[in-house]
Amino acid sequence: MDIARIEAAAKRLAGHARRTPLLSSPFLDEIAGRRILVKAECLQHTGSFKFRGAWSAISALDPELRQ
């Protein structure tokens, strides 16, 4: 994995994946002794990170193969 592949995947996802927020939790902060942010991917189309990976993989396929 390199930054070029990550950037290419991000471009393919633009406009398709929901931008999900980072949420804080005072409870987790206290346990960790520092601020913890949790990515709320439960708000994604499928309720998980799986949408991002699936869309990235499918959209990277050759259009003929994807068809």
> Is 7 among the domain residues?
no
Q: What mean pLDDT comes out for the span 17-46?
A: 90
pTM exceeds 0.75: no
> Is 2 among the domain residues?
no
Q: What mean pLDDT comes out for the span 26-40?
A: 95
Burial of 4-40, coded b for 16+ CB within 10 Å and e otherwise, reads eeeeebeebbeeebeeeeeeeeeeeeeeeeeebeeee
> Is 10 among the domain residues?
no
Give the pLDDT score at 28. 95
> Is 9 among the domain residues?
no
Give the confidence band of 49 by pLDDT, cuts at 50, 70, 90.
low
How is residue 46 annotated by DSSP? T
The parent domain of residue 26 ranges over: 18-61
> Is 4 among the domain residues?
no
> Is 45 among the domain residues?
yes
22 within 8 A of 37, measured Cβ to Cβ: yes
> Is 52 exposed, middle or buried, given 0-12, 13-18 or 19+ CB atoms closer than 10 A?
buried
Q: Domain tally for the chain?
A: 1
